[in-house]
A = this chain, B = another copy of it.
Amino acid sequence: MNRYEAGKFDVIVVGAGHAGSEAALAAARMGSSTVLLTIDLDMIAFMPCNPSIGGPAKGVVVREVDALGGEMGRNIDKTYVQMRMLNTGKGPAVQALRAQADKNEYAQEMKKTLEKQENLLLRQGIVEELIVEDGVVQGVVTHTGAVYRAEAVVLTAGTSSRGQIIIGELKYSSGPNNSQPSIKLSENLLDLGFDLARFKTGTPPRILASSIDYSKTEEQPGDLEPNHFSYSSKDEDYLQDQLSCWLTYTGTEAHQIIRDNLHRAPMFTGIVEGVGARYCPSIEDKVVRFSDKPRHQLFLEPEGRNTEEVYVQGLSSSLPEEVQLDVLHSIDGLENAKMMRTGYAIEYDVVKPHQLRPSLETKLVKNLYTAGQMNGTSGYEEAAGQGIIAGINAALAVQGKEPLVLKRSDGYIGVMIDDLVTKGTLEPYRLLTSRAEYRLLLRHDNADIRLSEIGHEIGLLPEERYQAYIEKQVAVEAEIARIKSIRLKPTAELQAFLESRNSAALKDGFLFSDLLKRPELDYAALYPFAPLEEELPKEVISQIEIQIKYEGYIKKAVAKVDKLKKMEEKRIPENIDYDAINGIATEAKDKLKKIQPETIAQASRISGVNPADISVLMVYVQSGRYTVLENSI
């Protein structure tokens, strides 16, 4: 191919999936001239798997992306067909919003946003090579010979990287849903010295809505009470005519069919070489691993308002097509289901994430960032969460500024990236609430409190959205201060009300805030006894309630975080010579050399590195007399 100079940009983003869209928008919004190159302009923010966004931990990530100034939350708020708050019966730490998306509209809307973004050029093209000079990335080359130069490059190639689709005995080269795979970019990464792993993920069949007997399933309608992913969405825009999902189950017959065909299941025959996700298993995997479970839940989810395609959540499979059909037809309500797309597994290349810094910059090539599925995660939200950080850090690098590294206590995004770069991952990594040690701090309701300040400071969260956040904060704090100072008198009305709620009677005046701590009472009920001139918005009230009711727990968690902060602030010099340190165990040294932690805190989280090793390391670093190597890795 003849090459030509296609232009000089600040930032290049490769791949317009969920990671790439956020990365490109973040960089452009922070003022970097950005080009976003992608294989197919008709597959932007494409959902090759479930047509939904959110859920436990993942939903919080969407709000974190939103609080930083990202797009996923706004995009789903514009294109959902159903919205539900999960775990409403449980505490605020595990509540999670989940939306069914109109798959086509979701993609169209994101494409439009990218097209309209200032500083951003969206262009169809297949990136085949990185230009690297002296260990610093300089640009990329596309299949048409176009050389794009930039100061920073973000790769988000997703499952297209040497993708191979697997169905039963069949295996062929393809990106998701029979799209063109990306082959040369992977080869180029190998040439550059990157260590790639092979992961796999899978998707269930899609069936025709009119072929489902819904009477044999349970309806799962959306919520009536308005909710949104984006802090800027309005209650009055909440969708009234939502689409329902439907619940059914696999049964003994389905499980028998699967067991009878395990000799043809690529997962077990050796055809699948990539490593699949434990937390997102295929149905054949579930039947084998949980052999005593008589049934598994299946959710029938519409793929959009304008289509008859229905996604069978829970039935991900790479069994031969005929077996998938038999399994489907053994399920209540799906006896006559017409399959429109066959489930499949896809194998793809992953950049083993220990090769990344917490900024998502690669250690091997300066100013090169990777994000999303290609870092070993699975999921749209995980991709978006990394994408926005990679885009931010690319833009900050261009500005000559320090990278943004979210701490584990800042958000699930911080947890995820720290897990990836510190522990690596041997299988597709999904966010789970259990991965966070500060679950009660990383709530769905307070992502704005955790991250708006950061989003604003780096120049990503727009001023008017920041002001709205500040107003909300002021209102919350003012009202907390007020109720902490108002003593409610034991009037006859109040006592009668308390009795009606089975709440102990007051002997004396009692702080509004203390009364609110009683589990059987809430703000709305107490409010009439100490009203304001004007009622507060509901998100302010819910914030007040959570902060007061969980005050004790939150304080404890914050105290722990503060203690850790000191460790987080203790930086380890780059390229430190671990071999020169006496007293660190050999295994710990090997791990430290591989991961190259940037702080003592990060080092302490590496498995195989013990507290004793950390003490030695800390003393050594603080002594100031450490040796540094010329070239690490």
* Chain A residues packing against B (C-beta within 8 Å): 1-2, 4, 6, 39-43, 104, 108-109, 111-112, 115-116, 121-126, 143-146, 167-170, 172, 174, 177-180, 206, 208, 210, 264, 306-309, 320-322, 325, 338-342
**A124-B178 in contact given A167-B144, A170-B1, A321-B145 (Cβ < 8 Å):** yes
**A338-B121 in contact given A4-B321, A146-B322 (Cβ < 8 Å):** yes
CB distance from A115 to the nearest CB of B (A): 4
Task: Other than A6-B321, A112-B306, give 5 A-B pairs with Cβ distance below 8 A.
Answer: A1-B170, A2-B168, A6-B322, A40-B178, A115-B307
CB pair B177 A125 closer than 8 Å: no
A307 interface neighbour in B112, B146, B169, B342, Cβ under 8 Å = B112
A172 closest partner in B (C-beta): B143
**A108-B306 in contact given A143-B172, A145-B321, A170-B143 (Cβ < 8 Å):** yes
CB distance from A61 to the nearest CB of B (A): 26
CB distance from A564 to the nearest CB of B (A): 46
CB distance from A332 to the nearest CB of B (A): 22
CB pair B340 A210 closer than 8 Å: no
**A320-B2 in contact given A124-B178, A180-B174, A308-B116 (Cβ < 8 Å):** yes
CB distance from A631 to the nearest CB of B (A): 37
CB distance from A16 to the nearest CB of B (A): 11
A118 closest partner in B (C-beta): B210
**Which residues of B sit under 8 angstroms from A325, Cβ to Cβ?**
6
**Which residues of B sit under 8 angstroms from A180, Cβ to Cβ?**
174, 178-180
CB pair A309 B170 closer than 8 Å: no
Q: Bound state CA distance, A146 and B325, in angstroms?
A: 11
A210 closest partner in B (C-beta): B116
Q: Bound state CA distance, A104 and B42, in angstroms?
A: 9
Find the residue from A121, A124, A126, A146 having the highest chain B CB count within 10 A.
Answer: A124
**Which residues of B sit under 8 angstroms from A340, Cβ to Cβ?**
41, 122-124
Q: Bound state CA distance, A190 and B239, in angstroms?
A: 54
**Which residues of B sit under 8 angstroms from A6, Cβ to Cβ?**
321-322, 325
Find the residue from A126, A144, A206 having the highest chain B CB count within 10 A.
Answer: A144
26 A-B interface contacts by CB (under 8 A): A2-B168, A2-B264, A2-B320, A4-B321, A39-B178, A41-B340, A42-B42, A42-B177, A104-B108, A108-B307, A111-B307, A112-B306, A112-B307, A112-B308, A115-B309, A123-B338, A123-B339, A123-B341, A124-B178, A124-B342, A143-B172, A144-B320, A145-B170, A145-B322, A178-B180, A179-B180
